Amino acid sequence: MNPEYEISCQHFADLKEKYQAAKYEYSSPSSPLYFILRKADLGIELTDLESIYLQKEQLSTTFNIIQKEQQQRNKERISLGVEFTKLKSKYKVENYNISWITSDLYFILCKIDSGNFLTEKEFNWLLSHGWKATTSIAIETQKVTSLKSKYKATRYQDFHPDSPLYPILKKIDRSERLNETEYKWLIEKGLLETLEFVKQQEAEERNEFIQLKEKYQATKYKSEYLSSPLYAILQKLEAEETLMDTEINWLQEQELIETIAIAEEREQIKEFAAWKIKYKATEYEDISPKCHLYKVLKIIDSGNFLGEQDINFLKKRKFLETIKVAHDQYTKHLKSKIETDELLTNSEIQWLKNNGREDIIILVQERLFSILKSKYAVLDDKYKSPSSPLYSILQKLEQDERIEPQDVAWLQENELFYDKIRTKYHIIEADFYQQELKRTGNQWNLVNASSHLRKADKSKLALQLTNNLPLNKIEDNKLKSALLTTRGGAFRDFDKLDDAEICARQAMKYQPDSHHPYTLMGAICYQQGKYFEGDKWFSEAIKRGAKPLDMDSEIKSVLKKTNDQKQRQELVNYLLKKDSYRYAWAKDYLKKQKDKK
């Protein structure tokens, strides 16, 4: 007998057993059933004719098994696709629509997510597609992996740089002290071996503290706690860093006069050495701050002119370049302009550049930065340097330029995305989308423009913009619903609740599965005092994908808009009766409103 035939017969028998088709009498590989079972085993979907054949042969069990397998495969395919989408979002992969089945990206993201190191080829592949953010995360993830291994924290599964563990490990690696919250977190996660590293570091730091107190004559300070301000101060002295005024004041309060004297002398020696380089006097050998040259250079550095006696002192020692710096009248003039809040002209700035006076240029930038901060009501003094991202952001806003999403994220992270900055941002965005609407005719730009106008407290303009909507000319029901919802929201901003409700209900008809119009209806009802009915609408919105926190935000906005004290109290009572824990903020909000009065 033909060996190939025997193999096929055995394969057929195995497949019949697998798919419970043993009652099928024919065992010949030429049978249609063998063809069908081989397709099923390869995961190929059956045709209608093949399905009918199985039913006709009374192989319903076989049909059900195959169908179940196919459903499971389809489900798994969908699951893999969803996971791929999540990984792309998590690792900031944008503008990539190639199927995960044929792409190397899925495998690379899985490696990153599991903390595996990428090969040079894989890094180059990411960079060749322009995914710098993904590459940066991958690099940071490898650092997380290394630190987890180094400090025995591998039992913690998350490898993402945003995980709570990463900043803790970095602090340990820099020998920085952990705070109480970080200690508790390590204990809660069972990372006891990691804690041992921390304890070992603290023991070494205590020994260092004792030695530093001896070296800098601070032994009268008896505390040995590492959290003591003295330890940080002595570490700065050891690293030859300049102490801040607050640190000097603290030393004075502790009567550590000897330590202060050492710090001041070190600072003056370091200052003197820097000035000799800066003002071309390096040939002068004396390094003591008590010598006369130190006093002369200090006068120059303060921006004042030297007297005749000091000039003669410099001439006698042939420090002619030093004299030239000291008598730089034009520089003094420019400084004077800056000090009187007068901005320099482009030609003056160019002169400073040509003459290497970058220090003055920085002053110009700082002054402009100060003006912009004042205009946009930024009161926090920590944003002084023009190197701060805030400087470039305010410049863009002032020039009516759009800022990048990462700029918005930076503002939010630093609690600066409010009032004038937030309003100007939304005005610029609204204008952009209006221009895009004119350029492309894409009505989604109208939705975005209206949304930004509302956020900029320009709801009247939003209503004007969305007036006479050409709904009969729009085929996309999702777009119709979005346009009506944003227009309804603008009506609600003006307490035109009947008009807002009309828009909301129309939006529901066009897109019944969208949660946005239902959320709008819930807010309208709350604004009308129909709280129970509003909850029903909010419940419908949640069924369609809205988050409960979004509902709470809408309720807060209603409470904020309510001027009537009685109505406000009524709403607070309703919320607290419904769920006193969830809506505890309502009581606090009411208290704040009373305190303002």
Which of 15, 48, 75 is the last residue in one of the domains?
A: 75
At residue 595, the pLDDT reads: 56
Q: Whole-angstrom Cα distance, residue 231 to residue 235?
A: 6
In this prediction, residue 518 carries a pLDDT of 96
Q: What is the DSSP letter of 342?
A: P
DSSP string, 279-302: TT-TT-----TTSHHHHHHHHHHT
Residue-level pLDDT at 23: 82
pLDDT score at 593:
60
pLDDT of the residue at 355: 60
- In terms of domains, do 108 and 139 share one? yes
Are 185 and 161 members of one domain? yes
Distance between CA atoms of residues 550 and 482, nearest Å: 17
pLDDT of residue 304: 57
Closest of 419, 329, 324 to residue 379, by C-alpha: 419
Please give the average per-residue pLDDT across 440-450, as a whole number. 92
Q: Could you tell me if 104 and 145 lie in one domain?
A: yes
- Average the pLDDT over 514-536 and give the result: 94
pLDDT given at position 114: 81
pLDDT surpassing 90 at residue 203:
no
Instruction: Kindly state the average pLDDT of the residues 382-393.
Output: 87
Residue range 557-576: mean pLDDT, rounded: 87
Query: Quick check: 497 pLDDT over 70?
Result: yes
In a domain, 142, yes or no: yes
Total residues found in the chain within this entry: 597
pLDDT of 348 above 80: no
Q: Which residue bears the tokens 């919320």?
A: 575
Whether residue 68 sits in one domain with residue 128: no
pLDDT of residue 478: 94
Q: Residue 212: its pLDDT value, please?
A: 85
Identify the domain boundary among 31, 46, 75: 75
Could you tell me if residue 25 is inside a domain? yes
Instruction: Write the CA distances from 352 to 128, 182, 331, 347, 356, integer angstroms.
Output: 41, 49, 8, 9, 6
Is residue 193 located within the same domain as residue 116?
yes
Could you tell me the residue range of the domain that residue 577 belongs to?
Answer: 562-597
Task: Read off the pLDDT of each residue in 47-55 and give the average, rounded to a whole number.
Answer: 88
Give CA 227 to chain center in angstroms.
30
pLDDT of 523 strictly over 70: yes
Least confident range from 175-184, 444-453, 465-474: namely: 175-184
| Residue 155 placed within a domain | yes
In a shared domain, residues 109 and 32? no
pLDDT in tens, 234-248: 888 888 888 888 988
Question: Which pLDDT value is given to residue 343?
Answer: 66
As a whole number, the mean pLDDT across the chain is 85
Rounded Cα distance between 113 and 170, Å, is 19
Using pLDDT thresholds of 50, 70 and 90, give the confidence band for residue 409.
Answer: very high
268 assigned to some structural domain: no
Cα–Cα nearest to 168, from 157, 184, 155? 184
Quick one: 97 and 177 in the same domain?
yes
Its pTM surpasses 0.85: no
Highest mean pLDDT among 109-123, 361-375, 380-394, 517-531: 517-531
Instruction: Mark which of 145, 174, 200 sits at the end of a domain.
Output: 200
- Residues whose CB is less than 8 angstroms from the CB of residue 224 and which lie 6 or more positions away in sequence, other chains included: 206, 209, 210
Residue entry with tokens 């060749």: 128
* Inter-residue contact 41 to 87 (CB < 8 Å): no
Would you call 131 exposed, middle or buried from its count of C-beta atoms within 10 A (0-12, 13-18, 19+)?
buried
Q: Assess whether 102 and 193 both reside in one domain.
A: yes
Task: Give pLDDT, residue 305.
Answer: 53
The verdict on residue 52 lying in a domain is yes
Tokens at 343, concatenated: 């901005």
Average pLDDT of span 280-302: 80
Could you give the CA distance from residue 219 to residue 212 in angstroms, rounded to a whole number? 9
Residues 64 and 96 in one domain: no
Based on the domain organization, do 125 and 169 belong to the same domain? yes
DSSP code of residue 92: T
What does the pLDDT look like over 60-72, one tens digit per residue? Answer: 898 898 889 888 8
**pLDDT interval class at 96 (50, 70, 90):** confident
For residue 292, the model assigns a pLDDT of 86
Which tens digits make up the pLDDT trace of 245-260? Answer: 898 899 888 888 888 8
Question: Which CA distances in Å does 155 have to 90, 186, 575?
Answer: 22, 11, 43
Residue 154 within any structural domain of the chain: yes
Q: Is residue 509 part of a domain?
A: no
Report yes or no on 207 lying in a domain.
no
Distance CA 399, CA 377 (A): 17
Closest CA to 170 of 153, 157, 184, 187: 153
Of all residues in the chain, what percent carry a pLDDT higher than 90?
21
Residue 537 in this model has a pLDDT that exceeds 60 = yes
The pLDDT value given to residue 193: 81
**For residues 223, 227, 230 and 232, what is the CA-based torsion angle, rounded to 10 degrees?**
150
Residue written as tokens 């495969």?
73
Q: Is the per-residue pLDDT at 303 higher than 80?
A: no
Are 177 and 227 in contact by the 8 Å Cβ rule? The answer is: yes
- pLDDT at residue 173, as a whole number: 79
- Residue 275 pLDDT: 80
Assess whether pLDDT exceeds 70 at residue 330.
no
pLDDT tens, position by position, 140-180: 888 888 888 887 788 887 778 888 888 888 887 777 778 88
Q: What is the pLDDT of residue 243?
A: 87
Q: Are residues 97 and 192 in the same domain?
A: yes
Q: What pLDDT is recorded for position 528?
A: 92
Overall number of domains in the chain: 3
Which of 318, 267, 277, 317 minimizes the C-alpha distance to 297?
A: 277
Name the least confident of 97-101, 267-271, 459-463: 97-101
- pLDDT (tens digit per residue) in 543-562: 999 999 989 989 988 988 88
